[in-house]
Amino acid sequence: MSSVIAIIPARGGSKGVPEKNIHLLAGRPLISYTVEAALTANIFSKIIVSSDSERIISKVQLQLNVMCQVRPKEFSLDNTSSDAVVQYVLEFNEYDEDSDVDIVLLQPTSPLRSSNSIRESYELFKSRNNIEAVIGVKEVDNKYLKSYVTEDGFLSPVYKRTVAYYRRQDLPKLYMPNGAIYWFNAKCFFQGDSRIPRDSLLPYEMNEEESIDIDTLKDFELAEKIILVK
């Protein structure tokens, strides 16, 4: 039976909100919401908070009592990819392509993601043999399928040449990744060309509240209003 781990990446640097991952949201550090959801999901053999910041690590260890691991600064730059962070964490913990381990990437910037969504999305991930990943998504306005990009100065449709003449109700649903949940396994990660799988994806649809992604102080204010109303 596969072991199941959660990776929670918590970089110290943030241009929009200084030390965003431990900035208080309704009186609690932002990262605490994701850690609590992972703990409450009760499916993980290991929950790993990976950070370059000693302040984040000390706060998480003191208040939340989960495993924390320091990662080098070169894996915490503005342009560091999620692939690089996940690879460092997996290799540091001696996982490779032969490891029977399922992994979920949980960004701390999705504080309203519930433990139930973590469990349900994992059940979806395990329900099919022909998929490489399950990702959290939210439905967005499908009228954008009528959009164009320019190529050599000419308009080119992003979807189909005839889509401009479709009725809106005839358009397919349109989804956007929300960054809240990303399931995959070690074998697909290490054998894939792009590391975190980009093909054979199943969507796990989440509502607007759970899909809130914290980037600015206004995002904090919106999330806090929702939390305080509940």
- Residue 27: inside a domain: yes
Q: What is the rounded CA–CA span in Å between residue 215 and residue 185?
A: 28
Q: How many domains does the chain have?
A: 1
Q: Report the share of the chain in percent with pLDDT over 70.
A: 99
Q: Is the predicted pLDDT of residue 10 greater than 70, yes or no?
A: yes
CATH number of domain containing 216: 3.90.550.10
Q: Residue 186: its pLDDT value, please?
A: 92
Looking at residue 46, the DSSP 8-state letter turns out to be E
| Among 22-26, 138-142, 190-194, the least confident range | 190-194
- Residue 189: inside a domain: yes
How high is the mean pLDDT of the chain? 91
Q: Is the predicted pLDDT of residue 12 greater than 80, yes or no?
A: yes
- Residue 161: inside a domain: no
Query: Using 50, 70 and 90 to split pLDDT, how confident is the model at 1?
Result: low
Q: Residue 66: its pLDDT value, please?
A: 86
How many Cβ atoms from other residues are within 10 Å of residue 42's Cβ? 9
- Residue 131: inside a domain: yes
How many Cβ atoms from other residues are within 10 Å of residue 6's Cβ? 25
- Helix (H) or strand (E) run with residue 68 in it: strand 67-70
Range 169-182 average pLDDT? 93
Q: What is the rounded CA–CA span in Å between residue 88 and residue 126?
A: 25
- Residue 43: inside a domain: yes
Q: Is the predicted pLDDT of residue 199 greater than 70, yes or no?
A: yes
Helix/strand/coil for 205: strand
Beta strands 154-157; 101-105: pairing state:
unpaired
Q: Residue 127: its pLDDT value, please?
A: 93
- Residue 144: inside a domain: no
Pick the more confident residue, 89 or 169: 89
Q: Residue 196: its pLDDT value, please?
A: 86
Q: Residue 194: its pLDDT value, please?
A: 66
Tokens encoding 4: 């199941």
Helix/strand/coil for 5: strand
Per-residue pLDDT reduced to its tens digit, 105-162 = 999 999 999 999 999 999 999 998 888 999 999 999 998 898 999 999 999 998 887 8
Pick the more confident residue, 51 or 169: 51
Pick the more confident residue, 228 or 79: 228
Per-residue pLDDT reduced to its tens digit, 29-64 = 999 999 999 999 999 999 999 999 888 998 888 778
- Residue 160: inside a domain: no
For residues 43 and 60, is the Cβ–Cβ distance under 8 A? no
- Residue 157: inside a domain: no
Domain range holding 38? 3-137+176-229
Q: Residue 159: its pLDDT value, please?
A: 87
